[in-house]
Structure 1
């Protein structure tokens, strides 16, 4: 690895959030601070850095959680260099999440944690946020980002809880949301709109829907789409037409989701059942 570079993205789903991928071999970060929360992982090699007088080694399976205004540096552990993915989350977004969690103070207690599950979740989320199809997958991405950020703070944050009474999602409202997914599965749903329709914040709606159904809104909607796709395939309809009818933005995305769920491609399934 010889090329030193950083590539940046922004996603309209969280306009102030900065996303980056980097490859470094000899470049070293001097002592510096950030204005936002910096979450990062390495995908190759390792990075070492100094933080409040302690040395840390960021390797695969670990996740770096740096609070705003905390000084640190950074350099490669190995001569071959390292690759890293970083997500810079604005304070305003974190404040929204922690407010919904009834947290009075929010900061990470350590700049580095061993968390293979969150390492993988971060990579998947980062990939989705930097995808050219991100806008079409907004419900999925918003759900994943909220769940990931919440898990980070609940697992590694130093927090003080406040008591807070929340409006509950009623059984009828759950039924109404499900019916909307069934009746309008071809539509692009926005988490803001779904939450507003039942008088909840996005975060409250996400948590309460999952508590009521055992699935996130995105996961439920995706499964509904796949179930209807199976029925259409059994009737002999064209795969590309089915993809659009049930809400996937092209045939390849239906193929990927279908195989992940049923271990067979839509075309192979159709041949088996007709």
Structure 2
């Protein structure tokens, strides 16, 4: 690791959110603050930083949760340097999440936590948010982002979550949403539009849909697409055409999703049923 490098991205699902990947060896961050919540992990090596007079070591399996306007610095833990992925989440977006969780104070109680499961979830989410195909997977990405941020604040927010009664989706509303997925299977759906159609916030809709169906909207839609793909394969249609018909980016994305769900590729399945 010899190059000092940092790259930045934005994603339209939260336009103000900043995403970055960095590789540092000698570069040191002087004492500084951020305007947003900075969530970060290292993918190679380790980083050390000072925060409120305490020293912290960020390594694999740990997640850094820095609140806005909290001074800290940063440098490599060893001579070999380190690589890091960072997500800068706007204050306004966090305010929506903590409001849904009934958390009155919006800050993390610790700047560093050992959380291997969230570490892995963060890396997967960061990779997908910075993918060239991100614009075509908005429902999946926003669902994943809300789930990740919600879990982060439920675990490490400074105030315990209290129960709060939520408006429930009616049977008719659930049926209408499902019908929309079936009828417009090839469309790109957005969480905002689905929630607005039933008079709920994105966060309320996501939770209520999962409560009613046992699945997130994205997971439900993905499975429906795969079921339609199986029917089309059984009719002898070309895999590349099916991918577009049922809403996958391309044939490779259909292949990957199909194998994850059914343990065989679409081509293998088609050979067995025709």
TM-score by structure 2 length?
0.97
Aligned partners of 1:272 and 1:163: how far apart in 2? 50
Alignment partner, residue 269 of structure 1: 269
Aligned partners of 1:168 and 1:102: how far apart in 2? 17
Aligned partners of 1:85 and 1:160: how far apart in 2? 28
**Residues 50-106 of structure 1, C-alpha deviation per residue, up to 9 Å, x if partnerless?**
111111111111100000011111111121110000000000100111112222111
| Unaligned residue ranges in structure 2 (runs of 5+) | none
Aligned partners of 2:164 and 2:271: how far apart in 1? 54
RMSD between aligned alpha carbons? 1.2
Pairing 1:216–2:216 present: yes
| Unaligned residue ranges in structure 1 (runs of 5+) | none
Aligned partners of 2:207 and 2:162: how far apart in 1? 18
Aligned partners of 2:212 and 2:17: how far apart in 1? 31
Alignment partner, residue 149 of structure 1: 149
Alignment partner, residue 111 of structure 1: 111
Aligned partners of 1:221 and 1:240: how far apart in 2? 19
Pairing 1:50–2:45 present: no
Contact 1:105 1:160 in 2 (8 A): no
Aligned partners of 1:218 and 1:48: how far apart in 2? 37
Aligned partners of 1:124 and 1:240: how far apart in 2? 26
Pairing 1:97–2:97 present: yes
Contact 1:104 1:160 in 2 (8 A): no
Contact 2:154 2:161 in 1 (8 A): no
Aligned partners of 1:152 and 1:257: how far apart in 2? 27
Which runs of 4 or more aligned residues in structure 1 lie more than 6 Å from their structure 2 counterparts after TM superposition?
Answer: none
Aligned partners of 2:267 and 2:153: how far apart in 1? 43
**Residues 210-261 of structure 1, C-alpha deviation per residue, up to 9 Å, x if partnerless?**
1111110000000000011011111110001100111112111111111111
Aligned partners of 1:242 and 1:163: how far apart in 2? 44
Alignment partner, residue 24 of structure 2: 24
Contact 2:154 2:160 in 1 (8 A): no
Deviation at 1:165? 4.6
Aligned partners of 1:79 and 1:250: how far apart in 2? 43
Alignment partner, residue 75 of structure 1: 75
Q: What SS class does the counterpart of residue 70 from structure 2 fall into?
A: coil
Q: What SS class does the counterpart of residue 187 from structure 1 fall into?
A: coil
TM-score by structure 1 length?
0.97
Contact 2:49 2:57 in 1 (8 A): yes
Corresponding pairs, count: 274
Aligned partners of 1:75 and 1:193: how far apart in 2? 43
Alignment partner, residue 139 of structure 2: 139
Q: What SS class does the counterpart of residue 108 from structure 1 fall into?
A: coil
Alignment partner, residue 253 of structure 1: 253
Aligned partners of 1:218 and 1:229: how far apart in 2? 16
